[in-house]
DNA sequence: GGAATAGTGTCTCTAAGACAGTATGGT
DNA sequence: ACCATACTGTCTTAGAGACACTATTCC
């Protein structure tokens, strides 16, 4: 598990710009919304101004590898570097809505396709020095996609691209940290939730589901035991009637399943070796 | 487990004010820091302005009850209501640093006392309608305190007060949700981390540690089994040499322990009944 | 002695790890 | 024929639940 607070933010503090004296005053004793020293009249300028963005760590499993959606930056700083997709939160939407909107834009998928996808708020990155130009607070989200037929549509999203997670080189800003946190979180959630099915299409084989676990965790699992565990967990998967599906040419075709109604796994499906993060 | 995205933020959208056309433009195609349509020159006003605050869910176990630190609001809206302590993030500090600063201010504890305390970022609340006056994005933190000798110091913090978690009535803003999320998260983290020792003083008995689990989870645990599990987990607790401590008058004095170097529990200490949240 | 809490020991049962063996498809 | 994958079954072991029992203190 990753250490998870950025409390020691003092390192970036000297570098940060104090934009206005007004802001400083508000932070010190105005304390908007918390105590009443300033009285009821509210001055919209009496708070420190921040930009709020969302950053997305979008994962899929393709070709037995964990892949992440990246964009190439077209402007400085970090011009030419890879970065996580993302953008501004608009004045009239929540961060979650912004994340879903950005996901649709960057993948080129339609709103209907994006709606049922799993979007999970990871954490918020707020170090004063994380963007050299100004104060930006970013709410990070992790998204899980099945390996969709339309890789990234044909719209504005032509610059977004799937990159294997382990070759995702140095990214812009603090996006390496965000990506690592996202990978950790997804791996941990596979243990005690039914999240893995979100990496799979509507109908999938147990081999494909096992592939998700093996790819995200980077381990090999025993097939009979995996099978037993999944089938013994009520509501994790449901058998689909009908003919089995051939598995990539070779071997016996496998029975199809779909995601069941359960969302949590009890007891959890712990990864081998005990340690939560590799 | 609690549903965890606020994607359906459209409900508050109609109520929100569009402050500037500039902001809207920035959100639509400026996309600061993501793509290069606007060129390299950066206009500090070309982003939607947000206020960023931190909210703290500060827990302790006292008198065998889970208690949370609340403040009473002195101004509208929600004047007179209880609320979570919190305040603005300053221009030169991270949200984590702001949370630690606010924790020190609200509890009246010194910076040295506050430094080693566990502060965990929960999630960020960003619904456009969550504050009726303006757009405020709040990063929520959970903090765990041992039952300290100085309940809340003697400074500005006279208005902060410990309240039993189950009687924490309707709170201001969306603080009921934040508090519920915080309780959920703390409960879940007790299962697979050594966090429980953070509720205890430097030296504690196994009975006190068990009391933490029972209080946060709201269940009864079998003492021998709890003992066996804790002692069998390497690095969870260490025996302290010296005389045992009498336990509240009655009964045999208990041996003292201190927190060990481990941070994760493998395998986890699952709560009874299987369900993650009560 | 009785009540209360600390601590030990033991039996049982669940579920995970390991792995042998069978079934059914492709080439 | 051979290989690859799907699926079944069995043995073993780690660890949790349940609970009987002993130890030490205050009243």
Residue B36 pLDDT greater than 60, yes or no: no
Is B272 at the interface with chain A, CB within 8 A? no
Residue B81 pLDDT greater than 70, yes or no: yes
- Number of A/B CB contacts below 8 angstroms equals 269
Structure tokens at B211: 């009391």
pLDDT at B169: 76
Please give the mean pLDDT across all residues of chain B.
83
Half-sphere exposure of B256 (CA within 13 A, CB side): 13
Residue linked to tokens 């299962």:
B191
Q: In this predicted model, what pLDDT tens digit does every residue of A208-267 receive, in sequence order?
A: 999 999 999 999 999 999 999 999 999 999 999 887 777 766 889 999 999 999 999 999
Instruction: Give chain A's count of helices (H) and strands (E).
Output: 7, 9
Separation of A228 CA and C16 C1' (Å): 10
pLDDT at A33: 41
Grouping H, G, I as helix, E, B as strand and the rest as coil, residue B158 is helix
pLDDT at B7: 54
Longest CA–CA span in chain B (Å) reads 74
Query: Cα–Cα distance between B93 and B97 in angstroms, integer?
Result: 6
Residue B114 pLDDT greater than 80, yes or no: yes
The verdict on a CB contact (< 8 Å) between A6 and B97 is yes
Query: Cα–Cα distance between B157 and B103 in angstroms, integer?
Result: 10
Residue B87 pLDDT greater than 90, yes or no: yes
Longest CA–CA span in chain A (Å) reads 74
The verdict on a CB contact (< 8 Å) between B91 and A27 is yes
Residues 6+ apart with CB under 8 A from A98: A54, A87, A88, A89, A90
Residues 6+ apart with CB under 8 A from B253: B243, B244, B245, B246, B247
The verdict on a CB contact (< 8 Å) between A7 and B119 is yes
User: Which of A16-25, A253-262, B105-114, B152-161 ranks highest by mean pLDDT?
Assistant: A253-262
Q: What percent of chain A has pLDDT over 70?
A: 77
pLDDT at A3: 46
| Chain B residues touching A97 at Cβ < 8 A | 6-10
Beta-strand relationship, A82-83 and A86-88: unpaired
CA distances from A123 to A5, A6, A160, A217, B201 (A): 10, 11, 23, 21, 29
- Check residue A17 and report its DSSP letter: -
- Check residue B126 and report its DSSP letter: -
From B6, B34, B90, residue closest to A48, measured CB to CB: B90
* pLDDT band, very low/low/confident/very high, at B158 (cuts 50, 70, 90): low
Is A93 at the interface with chain B, CB within 8 A? yes
How many residues in total does chain B contain?
278
Residue linked to tokens 């009535």:
B169
Q: What percent of chain A has pLDDT over 90?
A: 65
| B211 nearest nt, CA–C1' | C5
pLDDT at A244: 74
B186 vs A113, which has greater pLDDT? B186
Query: Cα–Cα distance between A38 and A265 in angstroms, integer?
Result: 50
Separation of B134 CA and C22 C1' (Å): 68
Query: Cα–Cα distance between A59 and A144 in angstroms, integer?
Result: 5
**Other residues' Cβ atoms within 10 Å of the Cβ of residue B189:** 19
Q: What is the pTM of this model?
A: 0.86
Q: Which of A30-34, A110-114, A132-136, B10-14 has the lowest mean pLDDT?
A: B10-14
Footprint of strand C on the protein (CB under 7 A): A 222, 224-225, 228-229, 232, 246, 249-253, 267, 269-270, 272; B 205-207, 223-225, 227-228, 244, 247-248, 250-255
The verdict on a CB contact (< 8 Å) between A7 and B75 is no
The verdict on a CB contact (< 8 Å) between B193 and A89 is no
Residue A44 pLDDT greater than 60, yes or no: no
**Which nucleotides of strand C are protein-proximal, with an atom < 7 A from a CB?**
3-10, 15-21, 23-27
Structure tokens at A49: 């101004």
Q: Which of A132-146, B24-38, B59-73, B132-146 has the lowest mean pLDDT?
A: B24-38
Assign 3-class secondary structure to A39-94: CCCCCCCCCCCEEEEEEEEEEEEECCEEEEEEEECCCCCCCCCEECCEEECCCCCC
Residue linked to tokens 């456009």:
B128
Q: What percent of chain B has pLDDT over 90?
A: 66
Q: A197 with A100: CB under 8 angstroms?
A: no
From A5, A83, A266, residue closest to B274, measured CB to CB: A266
Q: B121 with A9: CB under 8 angstroms?
A: no
Among B242, B189, B236, residue whose Cα is nearest residue B213: B189
User: Which of A38-42, B111-115, B185-189, B246-250 ranks highest by mean pLDDT?
Assistant: B185-189
- Name beta bridge partners: A13: none
Q: In this predicted model, what pLDDT tens digit does every residue of B255-276 receive, in sequence order?
A: 999 999 999 999 999 999 754 4
pLDDT at A168: 94
Interface test with A, best of B1, B7, B20, B131 (most A CBs within 10 A): B7
Structure tokens at B205: 């008995």
Query: Cα–Cα distance between A108 and A89 in angstroms, integer?
Result: 19
Is A13 at the interface with chain B, CB within 8 A? yes
pLDDT at A26: 40
The verdict on a CB contact (< 8 Å) between A34 and B87 is yes
By CB atoms closer than 10 A (0-12, 13-18, 19+), residue A170 is exposed
- DSSP codes, B224-251: HHHHHHHHHSTTSEEE--S--B--SSSS
Query: Cα–Cα distance between B53 and A14 in angstroms, integer?
Result: 21
Phi and psi torsions of A102, nearest 5°: -65, -40
CA distance A210 to chain B (A): 21
Integer Rg of chain A from CA: 22
B244 vs A235, which has greater pLDDT? A235
- Check residue A24 and report its DSSP letter: H
pLDDT at B159: 76
Assign 3-class secondary structure to A133-194: CCCEEEEEEEEEECCCCCCCCCCHHHHEEEEEHHHCCCECCCHHHHHHHHHHHHHHHHHHEC
For A77, name the nearest residue in chain B, comparing CA atoms only: B33
CA distance A247 to chain B (A): 35
Residue B11 pLDDT greater than 50, yes or no: no
| Chain B residues touching A266 at Cβ < 8 A | 270, 274-276
Half-sphere exposure of B127 (CA within 13 A, CB side): 19
Residue A21 pLDDT greater than 80, yes or no: no
Residue B26 pLDDT greater than 70, yes or no: no
Average pLDDT over residues B179-190: 98
Structure tokens at B139: 């990063």
Among A58, A1, A13, residue whose Cα is nearest residue A175: A58
Query: Cα–Cα distance between B259 and B270 in angstroms, integer?
Result: 19
| Chain B residues touching A32 at Cβ < 8 A | 51, 53, 87-88, 136
Average pLDDT over residues B160-166: 94
Separation of A272 CA and D14 C1' (Å): 14
- Name beta bridge partners: A121: A141
């Amino acid at each position: 598990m990753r250490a998870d607070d950025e409390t020691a933010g003092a390192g970036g503090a000297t570098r940060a710009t104090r934009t206005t004296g007004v802001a400083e005053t508000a932070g010190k004793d105005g304390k908007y919304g918390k105590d009443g020293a300033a009285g009821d009249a509210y001055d919209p300028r009496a708070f420190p101004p921040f930009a709020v963005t969302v950053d997305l760590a979008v994962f899929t499993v393709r070709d037995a590898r964990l892949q992440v959606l990246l964009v190439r930056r077209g402007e400085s700083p970090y011009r030419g570097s890879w970065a996580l997709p993302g953008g501004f939160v608009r004045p009239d939407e929540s961060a979650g809505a912004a994340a879903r909107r950005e996901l649709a834009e960057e993948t080129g998928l339609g709103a209907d396709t994006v709606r049922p996808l799993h979007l999970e708020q990871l954490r918020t990155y707020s170090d004063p020095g994380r963007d050299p130009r100004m104060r930006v607070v970013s709410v990070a989200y992790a998204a899980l996609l099945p390996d969709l037929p339309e890789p990234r549509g044909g719209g504005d999203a032509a610059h977004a691209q799937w990159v294997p997670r382990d070759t995702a080189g140095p990214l812009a800003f603090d996006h390496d940290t965000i990506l690592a946190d996202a990978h950790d979180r997804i791996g941990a959630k596979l243990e005690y939730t039914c999240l893995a099915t979100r990496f799979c299409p509507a109908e999938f084989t147990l081999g494909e589901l096992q592939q998700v676990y093996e790819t995200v965790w980077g381990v090999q699992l025993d097939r009979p035991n995996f099978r037993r565990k999944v089938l013994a967990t009520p509501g994790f998967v449901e058998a689909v009637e009908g003919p089995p599906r051939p598995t990539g040419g070779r071997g016996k075709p496998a029975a199809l399943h779909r995601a069941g109604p359960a969302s949590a796994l009890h007891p959890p499906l712990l990864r081998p070796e005990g340690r939560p993060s590799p």
